[in-house]
C-alpha cells in the first residue's frame, strides 16, 4: 500500500519526522541511501535542552554511550579565556553512528517503514503528489514528502528550493573522530572551543566522548578557498600536533578517522516548504550559525514538519504555510540571531576577544547562556539576561537589528 508521507533521509530530522508521523497514525516510508547503523561526520555535541524538548529520549539514551559534559573552555585569538560551567549536564556527547541508529529504531518501533539503500536521484511534484526516483530506477510516490536528506539535499535541488549554497553560507568542518587508544583528551570532562581560530572566520574544537575524541577546525567555505593554502588533512595534522604540544591532547592524529564535511551556517533557506514538500534539518539550513549546532534543530524541524503533515486533514490552510509558521515561532528568532552574531562577532578577531572577555567578566551572563543550552532557561530569557548584563552590547546590537522582541 502506498504511504501517506515519504521521508527522504534518516538522520535526526528524518527519523524524528518518521517517528512523529507513525505515532500520529500516518503510513510513512523512511528512505535512506545507507544501511543503518551508518556514520555521519559530526562533533556529536547535543545541548541537553534536547531532553526537555524530546522527553522520550531520556529513557532511551541508556542504549548508547553518552558522555555528559558540564564545562566549556573558550579561547579567543588574542589569548582571552573563559571557562563557563554548569551545575548540571549542559551538553551530551554522542557518536552519530549510535545516536542516529537509535532514532531510526525508535521510528521503526513507532511503525515507520525503513527502506535502506535507496538513494534518491530525481524528484518531481504535481497536483496529486511527489514522485521520487532512486539512482537504480525505483519509483516512489506519496501525496507529501519531507526532505531530510542533509546539506546536499537532492530533493531541495531538484524541486528548485535550493539552487546551491553560497560559499559564505556554508562552513567546511574538518574533523576526526578518533578512538582514545590513539588520541586522548587531557580533560575528558570539558569541551574546548577556540573562536576566531586561524583568522576571525574560523573555529576549532576538542569534544571528548566516552571512547573517542572529536577534534576539528571549521572555516566559512569562502575564507577557506581564498585564504588557506594547505590541504584539509595537513591543516588538521598540524593542528592536532599543536594541541598535543600544549598538553590539551595526548597521542596523534588519525587520517583514517578524518572526514571533512559541509555545514549550512547562513540560516534557513528563503523557501523551506513548497506545496507538497517540506524541508527539515540541514536540507532547509536549520543550523545555529554561531555554534554550528544542527542536531537539535534537525529534530525540532523534523517533528514540526510531521505535525504539520498530520494536521492537514483538519486544516484548510496549506501544509507548507503551517509548517513555516511553526518553525518560525519556535526557533526562527534564535536562528536569525545566531547568524547575525556569527557575522558580527566572528567578523573581527578583536570582537571575538571582547566576547570571550565578556563571558569571563560577567559569570552570570555566561551562566544564563549555559542554562539555555541545558534547557533550564528559555532563549528569550537568556537573551534578555545577556542584554541586561552587557549594556555596552545594546547600541551595537541595535545597529545589527538584534534587539527586536517577539
Q: Are 319 and 278 in contact (CB under 8 A)?
A: yes
> Which of 35, 127 has the CB closer to ligand FAD?
35
Nearest residue to ligand FAD, scored by beta-carbon proximity: 294
120 touches ligand FAD by CB under 6 A: yes
Using rule CB under 6 A, residue 279 touches ligand FAD: no
Alpha helices in 272-362 (DSSP H): 295-310, 319-327, 333-345, 349-361
Compare residues 283 and 365 and give the one whose CB is closer to ligand FAD: 283
Residue 191 interacts with ligand FAD (CB under 6 A): yes or no: no
Binding positions for ligand FAD, 21-40, rule CB under 6 A: 31-34, 40
- Positive or negative, the Cα torsion across 391, 395, 399, 401? positive
Q: Is 360 helix (H, G, I), strand (E, B) or coil?
A: helix
Q: 3-class DSSP state for residue 240?
A: helix
Return the C-alpha torsion angle 271, 272, 277, 282, nearest 10: 140
Nearer to ligand FAD, 209 or 383 (CB): 209
Residues of span 205-224 touching ligand FAD by CB under 6 A: 216
Site for ligand FAD in 288-307 (CB under 6 A): 292-296, 298
Counting contacts by CB under 6 A, is residue 287 touching ligand FAD? yes
Rounded to whole angstroms, the Cα distance separating 95 from 107 reads 19
Interface with ligand FAD includes 61 (CB under 6 A)? Answer: no
Residue 3 touching ligand FAD (CB under 6 A): no
CB of 367 to ligand FAD, least distance (A): 21
| CB 288, CB 297: distance < 8 Å | yes
Would you count residue 106 as binding ligand FAD (CB under 6 A)? no
Residue 278 within binding range of ligand FAD, rule CB under 6 A? no
Q: Per CB under 6 A, does 176 bind ligand FAD?
A: no
Asked if 18 and 10 touch (Cβ cutoff 8 Å), the reply is: yes
Tell me the C-alpha distance between 306 and 258, whole Å: 34
User: Under the criterion CB under 6 A, does residue 45 sit at the interface with ligand FAD?
Assistant: yes
- Binding of ligand FAD by 98 (CB under 6 A): no
Cell 534543530 found at: 297
Residue 316's contacts (CB-CB under 8 Å, 6 or more residues apart) are none
Contact set with ligand FAD (CB under 6 A):
8-14, 31-34, 40-46, 118-120, 148-150, 154, 173, 175, 216, 261, 263, 281-283, 287, 292-296, 298
Amino acid at each position: 500500500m502506498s504511504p501517506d508521507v515519504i521521508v527522504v533521509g534518516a538522520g535526526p530530522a528524518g527519523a524524528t519526522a518518521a517517528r512523529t508521523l507513525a505515532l500520529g497514525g500516518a503510513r510513512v516510508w523512511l528512505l535512506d541511501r545507507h544501511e543503518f547503523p551508518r556514520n555521519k561526520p559530526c562533533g556529536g555535541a547535543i545541548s541537553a535542552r534536547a531532553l526537555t524538548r524530546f522527553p522520550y529520549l531520556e529513557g532511551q539514551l541508556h542504549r548508547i554511550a553518552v558522555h555528559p559534559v558540564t564545562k566549556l573552555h573558550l579561547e579567543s585569538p588574542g589569548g582571552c579565556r573563559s571557562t563557563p560551567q554548569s551545575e548540571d549536564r549542559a551538553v551530551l556527547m554522542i557518536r552519530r553512528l549510535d545516536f542516529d541508529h537509535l532514532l531510526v529504531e525508535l521510528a521503526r518501533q513507532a511503525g515507520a517503514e525503513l527502506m535502506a539503500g535507496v538513494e534518491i536521484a530525481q524528484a518531481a511534484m504535481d497536483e496529486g503528489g511527489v514522485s521520487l526516483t532512486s539512482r537504480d530506477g525505483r519509483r516512489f510516490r506519496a501525496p507529501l514528502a519531507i526532505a531530510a536528506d542533509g546539506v546536499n539535499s537532492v530533493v531541495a535541488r531538484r524541486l528548485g528550493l535550493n539552487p546551491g549554497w553560497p560559499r559564505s553560507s556554508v562552513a567546511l568542518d574538518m574533523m576526526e573522530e578518533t578512538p582514545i587508544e590513539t588520541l586522548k583528551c587531557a580533560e575528558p570532562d570539558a569541551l574546548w572551543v577556540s573562536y576566531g581560530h586561524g583568522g576571525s572566520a574560523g573555529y576549532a574544537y576538542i569534544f571528548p566522548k566516552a571512547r573517542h575524541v572529536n577534534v576539528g577546525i571549521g572555516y566559512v567555505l569562502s575564507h577557506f578557498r581564498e585564504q588557506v593554502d594547505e590541504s584539509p588533512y595537513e591543516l588538521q595534522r598540524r593542528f592536532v600536533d599543536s594541541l598535543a604540544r600544549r598538553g590539551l591532547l595526548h597521542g596523534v592524529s588519525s587520517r583514517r578517522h578524518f572526514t571533512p564535511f559541509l555545514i549550512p551556517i547562513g540560516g534557513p533557506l528563503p523557501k523551506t516548504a513548497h506545496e507538497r514538500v517540506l524541508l527539515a534539518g540541514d536540507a532547509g539550513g536549520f543550523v545555529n550559525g554561531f555554534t554550528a549546532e544542527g542536531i537539535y534543530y534537525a529534530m525540532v524541524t523534523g517533528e514540526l514538519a510531521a505535525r504539520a503533515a498530520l494536521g492537514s486533514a483538519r486544516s484548510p490552510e496549506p501544509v507548507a504555510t503551517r509548517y513555516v509558521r511553526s518553525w518560525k515561532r519556535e526557533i526562527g528568532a534564535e536562528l536569525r540571531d545566531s547568524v547575525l552574531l556569527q557575522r558580527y562577532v566572528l567578523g573581527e578577531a578583536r570582537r571575538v576577544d571582547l566576547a570571550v572577555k565578556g563571558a569571563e567578566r560577567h559569570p552570570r551572563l555566561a551562566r544564563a547562556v549555559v542554562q539555555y543550552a541545558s534547557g533550564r532557561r528559555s532563549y528569550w530569557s537568556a537573551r534578555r539576561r545577556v542584554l541586561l548584563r552587557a549594556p555596552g552590547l545594546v547600541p551595537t546590537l541595535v545597529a545589527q537589528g538584534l534587539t527586536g522582541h517577539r
